[in-house]
Amino acid sequence: MKTIEIIVSPTGEARIETRGYAGAACQEASRLLEAALGVRQSEQLTPAFFQQPLTVQNRLSAGGHTNPS
Amino acid sequence: MSHIVTIQTEVRCRESVTAACRRLQLPPPTEGTHRLFTNQATGLAVALPAWRYPVVCELPTGTLRYDHYGGHWGDPRQLDRFLQGYAVERATLVARRSGHAVHEEPIADGSIRLVVQMEGAA
């Protein structure tokens, strides 16, 4: 399940975490919320960020075959 | 998770300021020019509990104008509380307008957690 978790501290600072995403799609998903809230202070990429999305992996594994139609 | 971003909140949305005031049971914000001791500020004024002067939100720049005289004229924690309420309302408004469900829950350390369900999103 894809979710975005936002934790707003008692001083009003927001920490946004994307969950369930693979690759850079998470940045696209959270961009609107980030822009709405204020100024980005820091960004930390996690191992999942560097994973290829599943749909791309599937296409790659079928690579080399050409569609005759 | 795949990435974590920390955001310093800027107050730029009138609707979210109003919602934050409602959440914190503050009087509705008022537009105009407001006195801050010897200075003045123009914008959307929020009356925090037991503060002598309002906090004035300059929405186009995201700047907050206030004078609590080192805490003597108002508890800075009330300002923090307003900023937290604003950020929660702002994030909830934006997520819901994008068609996503939002679940809110308090955390023991005083933070507020929002979970935005993105399933089915592009």
| pTM for the whole structure | 0.86
Task: Report the distance separating Cα B70 and Cα A66, nearest Å.
Answer: 72
Q: Residues 6 or more apart from A28 whose CB is under 8 A from it?
A: none
Give the number of domains in chain A.
Answer: 1
Q: What is the pLDDT of residue B120?
A: 56
Mean confidence (pLDDT) of chain A:
76
Position A31 in a domain: yes
Query: pLDDT confidence of B71, banded at 50, 70, 90?
Result: very high
In a domain, B2, yes or no: no
Q: Which candidate from B84, B113, B119 shows the least CB-CB separation from A5?
A: B113
- Taking CB atoms and an 8 Å limit, are B9 and A29 in contact across chains? no
Residue at A53 is within a domain? no
Is B9 a domain residue? no
Cα distances (angstroms) measured from residue B113 to each of B58, B89, B91, B95, B110: 27, 12, 11, 14, 10
The dihedral region occupied by B93, where left means phi > 0, alpha psi between -120 and 50, and beta the remainder, is: alpha
Query: For residue B5, is it within any domain?
Result: no
pLDDT tens, position by position, A10-51: 999 999 998 888 777 777 778 999 999 999 988 888 776 666
Asked if residue B20 is part of any domain, the answer here is yes
A5 neighbourhood in chain B, CB within 8 Å: 1, 113-116
Enclosing domain of residue B63: 14-118
Domain assignment present for A14:
yes
Check if A32 contacts B (Cβ < 8 Å): yes
Within-domain flag for B97: yes
* Chain segment B73-112, per-residue pLDDT in tens: 999 999 999 999 999 999 999 999 999 999 999 999 999 9
Strand B39-46: give its sheet, edge to edge: B30-36, B39-46, B55-58, B63-65
Please indicate, yes or no, if residue B8 is contained in any of the structural domains.
no
ipTM of the complex: 0.92
Assess if residue B1 is contained within a domain: no
Number of domains in chain B: 1
Secondary structure element (H or E) that encloses residue A14, with its range: strand A14-19
Count CB neighbours of B34 within 10 A. Answer: 20
pLDDT attached to residue A43: 86
Burial class of residue B56 (count of CB atoms within 10 Å of its CB; 0-12, 13-18, 19+): buried
A52–chain B Cβ distance below 8 A for any pair: no
Q: Is residue B4 in some structural domain? A: no
A11 at the B interface (CB within 8 A)?
yes
Q: What percent of chain B has pLDDT over 70?
A: 97
Tell me the residue range of the domain where A10 lies: 3-39
Identity (one letter) of the amino acid at B74?
G
Contact B94, A22 (CB under 8 A): no
Q: What integer pLDDT is reported at residue B1 of this predicted model?
A: 53
Burial class (CB in 10 A: 0-12, 13-18, 19+), A19: middle
Shortest alpha-carbon distance between residue A65 and chain B (Å): 28
